[in-house]
Amino acid sequence: KNSKILNYLTEQGILSESQARQQLSLVKGDGLALLSEIIHERPQLKERLGKLWGDLLNVAYVNLDRTLVNYDIVRLFPREFALKMKMVPIVSFGEVLTVACAHPDEKERFLEAENFINTFISSVFAFPEEIETFVELAYQSAEHLAELLAINFAAEAANAGSDDPEKTVSRETLENQ
């Protein structure tokens, strides 16, 4: 894989051959880490490099920054499990769950995940950083929504039966408690 990555990076003029070899040695031969470093410096290359890595692994690349969050699907994996496994459910078709994962070539991860949810899993590639951000945002958003609903419910309950503005509790007051 690394030779294909080096060829692509030099042929596309992204890095010179010596730069590519030097950066690959800095990340201890980890091609995925090399691509992540390049994307960190040049985010406009994320789509191209994600597709390259996916092609090398014979799976599709999905940009999680452009993927709608289906909270019911994402929550099939607990937050900690998704972060540990570096995989996140993104879509379900019938009996098959598609997960975006950082290491779609590590079959033991899929066996563990399939046993965990008792469903067949297919995979697509996403960068580890994308998965982390996607999971954090999905769970933060769900938790934040639940918190807002609880505050709204508490405000309505506190104000039930009171038409006197002096005796009502505002949502802002409850949020700040």
What's the whole-number mean pLDDT along residues 136-153? 70
pTM of the model: 0.75
Which residue has 């010596």 as its token pair? Answer: 18
Calculate ∠ Cα 19-26-136, nearest 5°.
110
Query: Residue 174's pLDDT is what?
Result: 47
Do the Cβ atoms of 23 and 34 come closer than 8 Å? yes
d(CA 105, CA 110): 9
d(CA 53, CA 59): 9
User: Mean pLDDT across the chain, nearest whole number?
Assistant: 85
Query: Residue 3's pLDDT is what?
Result: 87
List all residues 6 or more positions away from 110 whose beta carbon is below 8 Å from its beta carbon: 121, 123
d(CA 128, CA 14): 21
d(CA 89, CA 135): 10
Q: Cβ atoms within 10 A of the Cβ of 66, count? A: 7
The fraction of the chain above a pLDDT of 90, given in percent, is 53
Question: What is 90-150 written as a DSSP string?
Answer: EEEETTEEEEEES-TT-HHHHHHHHHHHTSEEEEEE--HHHHHHHHHHHHHHHHHHHHHHH
Query: Residue 168's pLDDT is what?
Result: 47
Query: Residue 68's pLDDT is what?
Result: 87
pLDDT at residue 161 above 60?
no
d(CA 112, CA 115): 5
d(CA 173, CA 65): 35
- Greater confidence (143 vs 95) lies with 95
Containing 87, the helix (H) or strand (E) segment is: strand 87-93
Out of 20-24, 25-29, 52-56, 67-71, which region has the weakest mean confidence (pLDDT)?
67-71
Note the pLDDT tens digit of each residue in 47-85: 999 999 999 999 999 999 898 888 889 989 999 999 999
For residue 57, give both structure tokens: 């692994």
Per-residue pLDDT band at 138 (split at 50, 70, 90): confident
- Greater confidence (85 vs 153) lies with 85
